[in-house]
Structure 1
Amino acid sequence: MSKKAWSLTTNISVAALALCSLQANAANWRYAIEESLSEVQGVYATRFKEVVEANSSHKVQIYPFGTLGESVDVMEQAQAGILQFVDQSPGFTGSLIPEAQIFLMPYVLPEKQSEINYFFKNSKVINETFPKLYAERDLELLSMFPEGRVHITTQQPFETPEDLDGVKIRVMTSPLLVETYKSFGAVPTPLPWGEVFGAMQTKMIQGQENPMFYIESTKMYEVSEVITDIGHNIFTTAVMANKRFYDGLPAEDQALIQKAIGEATDYILEYQQGLEEESIAKVKAAKPDIKLVSLDEDKRVRFREASSSVKEKFVTMTGDSGKAILEQMEADLQAASGK
């Protein structure tokens, strides 16, 4: 064999071995979300998948809501390592990590988009405090991001807490969210999401809360007569990995995941610009007679005052840990406001 031929053969062999090694190290990562692929969590997960697959031989399989059961089932699978990644809001993880319910506290998060974005990207509570708490539950906290202002859909209009007396409002399984709607004058009714549309349709409940894009995409407006914005919260969600899986990865894969998370977070914050207005326009087009109400500050103050005790109840539920988190979060929010 000539030297040239031998060199070519050697190069081909080395390349083949490298390819085999790459394929051997390739993995199929499973990622479950609480929404469909076309909704905010799905858009985020898809961006994450694109970055991972463009920069490695790994594959990411996304499981939309309902394909693996309800939220509690999905979290159990994530903790057990059946899923590598999961996106779930504090409304459900609050029973697992009580301190996470701070993101459900009414009238705490800012309404200005620039302040919201700064807070979620720079908050010490999110980037330093919560990863330790999630780690205690076998979860690696990768990111938290907002999904838009929460609106309340009901059958009848309301302007004061007294107007909600006796009104059954569906809430996620969070003790703090239950306390919030009690303070609003309503009857909080925890239900799995899969049961909500039917419960609204049969009038078993008379209301529910969600970001505007989700109200539109799930057609919740079809079983509602009024959509009201009282300015009480921003829907927050968290992306997590199974901690044993994440800790067992080589450094280059951990760096890849962090890169994908960073790009997906930047992308989703930009993607949501104007999404609420687009969703409102779609709802109006689909149901012209629906009432869309935004309470002014004079009316919102009634709900602010009524729910002022929820902060104290959060501290009671979470003790010194929750108190310290609340203090740090308030400092983070001041920094966002200054920015």
Structure 2
Amino acid sequence: MQHSVRLFTTAAIALAGVAFVSPSASAQSAPDAQERTIKFGHLNNPDHPVSLGVKKFAELLAAKSGGKLKVNEFPSNQLGNELQQQSALQGGVQEMTAPSTSSLAGIVKEFGLIDFPFALASFEQADALLDGPFGQALIARLPEKGLIALGYWDLGFRNVTNSRRPINRPEDLEGIKIRVIPNPVFLETFKAFKANPVPMPFAELYGALEAKAVDGQENPFAVILSNKMFEVQKYVSATNHVYGTNIILVSKRFWDKLSPAEQKMMQDAANEAKRYQRQVSRDAAQKAVAELKAKGMQYNELAAAEQARMRQIAKPVTDKFAASYDATLVKLYNDELARIRK
């Protein structure tokens, strides 16, 4: 609970710094804004950095539109799992969501490139990849699928938890039944480590861990803490195997009803909320490790040499997927990685 309080305190301090615009001033600068209510659903709990980002976005959008564009948040899978909410956006019955990019690989398979293991070594590299030409090229593929993206938020580096043993080297994953995102790259990667990966919606995960239907799972530290996985998992290992990001999606059917001025308010609010959300998320990840240890989880970090071994084991998997993707996007991805690693 202290974690939630601290997060909200951080949020409150940051929110206090935002310049509030009086409704009359906003309305004058934004005559095109109409009264609209936006249903913004996501799978995370209200104390999670994604939820804090939604609240910040809602506040900024209200300020920019003179209170005319209102955001109603629906956290914790209230509107369904990620794929159900994605379909709701495509159908025009829900306006916004913030899923992990991993869930988009089913409609634009090149989003799987973001999930390539051990590709990114720092938050700076992640931001450069996603905010640069590669991330924008992926976003450009979404309108034809009925979706508009306003940018990428931080979810964090993913780490393995389980109830059987610490993961110090690739061999430690052998035989562990681990829940993964329903995504081919994740499935094949963990098969390469001789684990037993089980695709499963996030909403079913805690129950499956509690019932011992699966031994473990992998998620960023803040997700592990926010969802109380310390109650049903003993070991948390800092594998940092994939950088996770949430993408801010808008229903194209809704977007096309907006005036250019309203669209600009949405994009500007998303850009400002992104900077705030990334910082809150990264601060939360640091605090989460200490709290997970305090809750009784055994924490360990992998040696650099073992991470390098894992990268080599996973390489045939990423090579296989890269060969099945659009060659121009794969080249852009590799070129951008080379650029940002310098």
TM-score in terms of structure 2 length: 0.86
Q: Matched residues in 2 for 1:115 and 1:47: separation? A: 24
Q: Which residue of 2 aligns with 1:231?
A: 240
For the Cα contact (< 8 Å) 1:86–1:239, is it kept in 2? yes
Correspondences of 1:153-172 after superposition (within 5 Å): 153-155=161-163, 156-172=165-181
Given the alignment of the two structures, is residue 134 of structure 1 paired with residue 142 of structure 2, yes or no? yes
Please state whether the residue corresponding to 2:72 is helix, strand or coil: strand
2: CA distance, partners of 1:274 / 1:41: 13
Q: Which deviates further from its counterpart, 21-30 or 239-248?
A: 21-30
2:289 aligned partner: 280
Q: Which residue of 1 aligns with 2:207?
A: 198
Counterparts of 1:211 and 1:272, CA distance in 2: 10
In the alignment, does 2:156 pair up with 1:145? Answer: no
Counterparts of 1:116-127 in structure 2 under 5 Å? 116-121=126-131, 123-127=132-136
Asked if the contact 1:36–1:65 (Cα under 8 Å) also holds between the matched residues in 2, the reply is: yes
Q: Alignment length, in residue pairs?
A: 313
- Report the 3-state secondary structure (helix = DSSP H, G, I; strand = E; otherwise coil) of the residue aligned with 2:140: helix
Q: How far 1:262 sits from its partner (Å)?
A: 0.7
Task: Tell me how far apart the structure 1 counterparts of residues 283 and 62 of structure 2 sit (CA, whole Å).
Answer: 29
Give SS of 2:241's match. Answer: coil
Paired amino acid for 1:332:
E
Distance 1:90 1:115 in 2: 17
- In structure 2, the CA distance between the partners of 1:237 and 1:273, relative to structure 1 (3 Å rule), is closer
User: What residue in structure 1 maps to residue 6 of structure 2?
Assistant: none
Q: CA deviation at 1:188?
A: 0.8
1:114 aligned to 2:124? yes
Instruction: Report matched runs for 1:72-111 at 5 Å.
Output: 72-109=83-120, 111=121
Contact 1:37 1:46 in 2 (8 A): no
Is residue 32–residue 259 contact of structure 2 (8 Å, CA) maintained in 1? no
Give the secondary-structure state (helix, strand or coil) at the position aligned to 1:153.
strand
Deviations 1:104-131 (A, max 9, x none): 110112x22333333333x20112x112
The 3 A distance-change label for structure 1 pair 159 and 270 is: closer
Gaps of 5+ in 1: 1-14
Q: Root-mean-square deviation (CA), in Å?
A: 2.1
Per-residue deviation, 1:64: 0.7
Query: What do residues 174-214 of structure 1 show as CA deviations (whole Å, max 9, x unaligned)?
Result: 01110111112211101111221121122211110000011
**What is the identity, as a one-letter code, of the residue corresponding to 2:35?**
A
1:175 to 178, 184, 188: 184
Residue equivalent to 1:188: 197
Residue 270 (structure 1) shift:
2.1
Counterpart for residue 51 of structure 1: 60
CA contact (8 A) 2:168 2:303 kept: no
Match of 1:310 in 2: 317
Distance apart, 1:24 and its partner CA: 9.1
Alpha-carbon contact 1:48-1:264 (below 8 Å) kept = yes
Q: Which residue of 1 aligns with 2:301?
A: 294
1:207-232: CA deviation from partner (whole Å, max 9, x where unpaired):
10000011011011221111111231
- Asked whether the equivalents of residues 180 and 217 of structure 2 are also in contact (C-alpha less than 8 Å), the reply is yes
- Checking the alignment, whether the CA contact within 8 Å between 1:34 and 1:41 is kept in structure 2 is no
The percent of aligned pairs where both chains have the same amino acid is 25
- Taking structure 1 as reference, are residues 117 and 40 closer, same or farther at Cα in structure 2, changes over 3 Å only? same
Secondary structure of 1:274's match?
helix
Give the whole-Å Cα distance in 1 for the aligned partners of 2:233 and 2:46.
24
- 1:132 CA drift (Å): 2.5
Q: Report the Cα distance in structure 2 between the residues aligned to 1:69 and 1:115, rounded to whole angstroms.
A: 32
| Alpha-carbon distance in structure 2 between the residues aligned to 1:115 and 1:76 | 31
Q: CA separation in 2, counterparts of 1:205 and 1:285?
A: 24
Q: Deviations over 1:151-183 (max 9, x none)?
A: 100121233333222211100110111011111
| Structure whose CA Rg is larger | 1
Q: For structure 2, which runs of at least 5 residues remain unmatched after alignment?
A: 1-23
1:130/1:141 contact within 8 Å kept: no
Residue 335 of structure 2 corresponds to residue 331 of structure 1: yes
